[in-house]
Amino acid sequence: MVNQGIRPDLITYNALIICNICDLEKVRKLVNEMSEIGLKSNKITFTTLIDRYCKDGDIKFVLKIKNKMMTGIELDEVAFTALILELCRKKMRRRRKELRLPPT
């Protein structure tokens, strides 16, 4: 797109992030590229990233993302649900280990 003189906007980048969400390396490159051209992530960007990294079990990175969120952007129901589910999964895994139960 850029080669053809078309400058992608935030909507374009969010769509690309969603379409490539299984390729986290590509997603990180897209987010960095957004930042380099002066586009700021919005609620859709953050929620998409939080949901995906929660599904990967990377709660530390999720909390980094949450802390990077700009003032005025709040977690929505999707992001909160992803975060709560992952925290519950982590707690259940810890509890299973304590009780020496096999993983399900």
Tell me what pLDDT residue 45 has. 93
Per CATH, the architecture of 2-99 is what? Alpha Horseshoe (1.25)
Q: What is the pTM of this model?
A: 0.77
Domain edges within the chain? 2-99
DSSP state of 6: P
Distances in whole angstroms, Cα of residue 41 to Cα of each of 5, 17, 58: 22, 11, 20
Q: Which residues, in sequence order, are CB contacts of 31 under 8 Å at separation 6+?
A: 17, 41, 45, 49
Vertex 82: Cα angle to 100 and 101 (nearest 5): 10
Q: Is residue 11 within 8 Å of 45, Cβ to Cβ?
A: no
Tens of pLDDT along the chain (104 residues) come to 666 778 899 999 999 999 999 999 999 999 999 999 999 999 999 999 988 988 888 888 888 888 877 667 888 888 888 888 888 888 887 877 777 767 65
Tell me what pLDDT residue 91 has. 81
